[in-house]
Structure 1
Amino acid sequence: MLKKVYKIVIIPYTLFLLYLMFLGMGRSQYEDHMIRIKPVISTVEFIRNTILWKYIVFVILGNIIMFIPFGFLGWILPGFKDLKTLLIAFVSSIVTVEALQYFTRMGILEVDDILLNTLGVYVGWLLSRWIEKKFSDLVL
């Protein structure tokens, strides 16, 4: 049951997420190509320079939570049940999306986004394994 619902929802969800990454939340094209390649340091600077904690939590947790559904891809693509295969495919995909943000100037290529998004996929993969063990009758 859950796998069928997931199969129906993941494509529109992916399209929605791409919309958010390129056009949503009041985005406009930057004048210059922007890149932040210092892992963790840019996130620490973001925290230091942001006044409202709710914005910090929204951005950092959002970068994790929004990608949890991709940890479940093994439900519809059996090759992605293997964590290593899933992460290699995901990191390749998210690096491509981040590069597109850079080249189109519709976002910033940020290494921290790649790390946080990948953490979200890992959390999703762990959740999918737990759900399969705990609720195997609902998953099919």
Structure 2
Amino acid sequence: MTSKRLKKLYRDLAILMFAGYGSFMCYLLFFGFSRNTRTERMMNLIPFKTISNYITGFHHYNLDTWVINLFGNVAAFVPFGFLVPLVFPGVRSYLQIISRFLLALLAVESIQWVFHVGSFDVDDILLNVIGGLIGFAILQRVRNLYKR
């Protein structure tokens, strides 16, 4: 198999994985976790407020809630940090990843807030972006190892 065909195969596989994982994440973000339509809208615009509440008040939360809200918000977006540059080859820098993630996550949080299926929390955006950056760093490392 030629190098060009192999690259196309990898990109096609990345697109398929991106679409599948993206669909799964849309389900989780808008319908999963027993999301019920809320009557009140909750919003946090203060960076690190929710994160610090979970850290300083960890004894008020069960372990599942604590882990999902802190580490789950990071881990869930690691695959996107890896897949986005493979699907969109123009995304090559940390700044490009950050800007794409900020815009997409701002849209997600806004949709959750508008449709009462979650709260708008700037800390979710921060944690999700960190996950994307970790995924991008992993991809960069793999690419550097592959070049050697």
Band of TM-score, shorter chain: 0.7 to 0.9
CA RMSD of aligned residues (A): 1.9
* Structure 1: runs of 5+ lacking an equivalent: none
- 1:12, distance to aligned residue in structure 2 (A): 1.4
Letter in 1 for 2:76: M
Partner of 1:6: 14
Number of aligned pairs?
137
- 1:135, distance to aligned residue in structure 2 (A): 3.5
The 5 Å alignment of 1:47-62 reads 47=55, 48=57, 50-62=60-72
Partner of 2:145: 134
> TM-score, normalization: structure 2?
0.83
Partner of 2:33: 25
The one-character-per-residue Cα deviations of 1:84-126 (angstroms, maximum 9, x if unpaired) are 1221111011001100111101000000000000000110110
Structure number with bigger Rg: 2
Partner of 2:76: 66
Alpha-carbon separation, structure 1, partners of 2:95 and 2:63: 34
Percent identical pairs in the alignment equals 25
> TM-score, normalization: structure 1?
0.88
Consecutive aligned runs of 4 or more in structure 1 exceeding 6 Å deviation: none
- 1:2, distance to aligned residue in structure 2 (A): 5.2
Letter in 2 for 1:33: R
